[in-house]
Amino acid sequence: MNDRPPVVVVTGASAGLGRAIVREFSRQKAHIGLLARGRAGLQGAAREVEDAGGKAFAAPADVSDPQQVEAAAEAIENAFGPIDIWINNAMVTVMSPVSRMKPEEYRRVTEVTYLGSVYGTLAALKRMLPRNQGVIVQVGSALAYRSIPLQSAYCGAKHALEGFLSSLRTELLHDGSNVRITSVHMPALNTTQFGWMKNRLPNDPQPVPPIYQPEVGARAVVYAAQHPRREMFVGISTVGAIVGNRIAPGLLDCYLARTGYESQQTDTPADPASPNNLWLPVPGDHGAHGSFDDRSRNWSLQLWANTHRTSLAAAGAGIIGAAVAAFISSRKSRSRWPLLRWKSR
C-alpha cells in the first residue's frame, strides 16, 4: 500500500478559492504544486503549506499558455513524483454588458477560464492515463448551467467546460480508464475576484447573495477529489439556480433581467483607475477572502447533507423501517382487541 502524501496541483493557487483549496489540502500534509501568475501570492501560499507540514512547489505560469502548463506539470512531478490530483481553478472575468465588451476581452477570458482548464486537463491526462489512475477536479459554477447578465464571457467559458468534460467522461468510460473526472459547481463566494475583476459597472461589483466563504467551496473540492462523484453542487443557491433553470428557464430570464444588475453591485461607486487582473496579476499577496466577510456564511447545510448522504439515507431507512414496524404492530394490536371482547361475553 502506498502511504506517501498525495501530490496535488492547484491552478489559480495564489488567491481566492484556489488559496483556500491549497490550505485545505495542506491540512493533509499534501505535496502541492502551485500554479498562478502572481509571484507574491504563490510565495505566501507556499509558506502556508510548509507551515502546515506539507510541501509546496511554486510554479509561476499563465494557464492560457499550454507550454507553461506542461512545463509546470513536469517540474512538479520531478519534485514530488506522480501527480494524483489536478484541480482546474484558474479564471478571469469581466463585469460588463455584452454591448460594451471588446473582442480581445472575450478571447482573454476564454483562453484563461476555458482553455486554461483544457490545457491543465491535457497535462494531467498525459501523466495519469499511462498509470491508469488519478483525479481531475474542475471548479465549476452555478453559472455553468444558468447564465446571468453582465458576465457573458465567464458564463460562456463555464458552459463550454461542461461540454468538454462530458465528452471526456464518455471517452474514459469507453476506454475503461480508472482516471476520474468530477465537477464542483460553486455558489457566490467571498473571494478576491470581486476586488480585481475588470469592471464597467457604475458601482463596485459583488457576489450575488447568499455569499459563502471560500473555505466552503474548498471543502467541497477536497471531498470531490477523494470520493467518486460525477459532479457536486455547493450551496442551496446553486441547486436552486440549476434546477430552476431546468424547469423554467424563461421565468428565470425575466427574474434576472429585473434583479441581475442591482444584485451584482454594491452602493460604492467604482474607481475607474482600480487595477484588474485580466491581463496581468495584481501585485501583492491577497489571500483567500474578499471584502464581504461580514455577509458571508461559513457553513452550508446543503453541502453537509451532500457529503453525508449515505449516513442520511441509512438513518432515513431506519426511521421508515421503525415507522412501518410500529404501524404493523399497531394494526395487530387493534385486530386482537375485538377477539378479546368477544371471549369475555
Q: Is 114 a catalytic residue?
A: no
Q: Where are the domains of the chain?
A: 7-307
* Tens-place pLDDT, residues 312-342: 665 555 555 545 555 556 666 565 545 444 4
The SS3 of residue 200 is coil
List of residues 6+ apart from 53 with CB closer than 8 A? 26, 29
| Per-residue confidence band for 114, with pLDDT thresholds at 50, 70 and 90 | very high
Closest CA to 77 of 117, 128, 41: 128
Active-site hit among 119, 154, 212, 223: 154
The pLDDT value given to residue 184: 98
The pLDDT value given to residue 155: 98
* Tens-place pLDDT, residues 238-257: 999 999 999 999 999 999 99
DSSP 59: E
Beta-bridge partners for 95: 199
* Tens-place pLDDT, residues 130-139: 999 999 999 9
What is the mean predicted confidence (pLDDT) over 296-320? 77
The pLDDT value given to residue 154: 98
Closest CA to 55 of 68, 45, 41, 65: 45
Compare 323 and 48 and report the one with higher pLDDT.
Answer: 48
The pLDDT value given to residue 3: 78
Query: Cα 298 to chain center, whole Å?
Result: 15
DSSP 298: S
- CA angle 73/74/75 to nearest 5° reads 95
Asked if the model's pLDDT at residue 126 lies above 90, the reply is yes
Please state, in angstroms and rounded to a whole number, the distance separating the CA atoms of residues 329 and 179: 50
| Per-residue confidence band for 309, with pLDDT thresholds at 50, 70 and 90 | confident
Please state, in angstroms and rounded to a whole number, the distance separating the CA atoms of residues 155 and 109: 10
Judged by average pLDDT, the poorest of 120-134, 145-159, 331-345 is 331-345
Please state, in angstroms and rounded to a whole number, the distance separating the CA atoms of residues 72 and 89: 15
For domain 7-307, the CATH superfamily is: NAD(P)-binding Rossmann-like Domain (3.40.50.720)
288 HSE (CA, 13 A, CB side): 19
What is the mean predicted confidence (pLDDT) over 50-54? 97
What is the mean predicted confidence (pLDDT) over 40-54? 98
Helix (H) or strand (E) holding 57: strand 55-60
Gap between the terminal Cα atoms of the chain? 75
* Tens-place pLDDT, residues 100-113: 999 999 999 999 99
Asked if the model's pLDDT at residue 13 lies above 70, the reply is yes
List of residues 6+ apart from 211 with CB closer than 8 A? 187, 188, 189, 190, 292, 295, 296, 297
* Tens-place pLDDT, residues 203-226: 999 999 999 999 999 999 999 999
Please state, in angstroms and rounded to a whole number, the distance separating the CA atoms of residues 158 and 142: 9
Please state, in angstroms and rounded to a whole number, the distance separating the CA atoms of residues 298 and 217: 10
What is the mean predicted confidence (pLDDT) over 185-200? 97
List of residues 6+ apart from 120 with CB closer than 8 A? 9, 11, 35, 63, 69, 86, 88, 90, 136
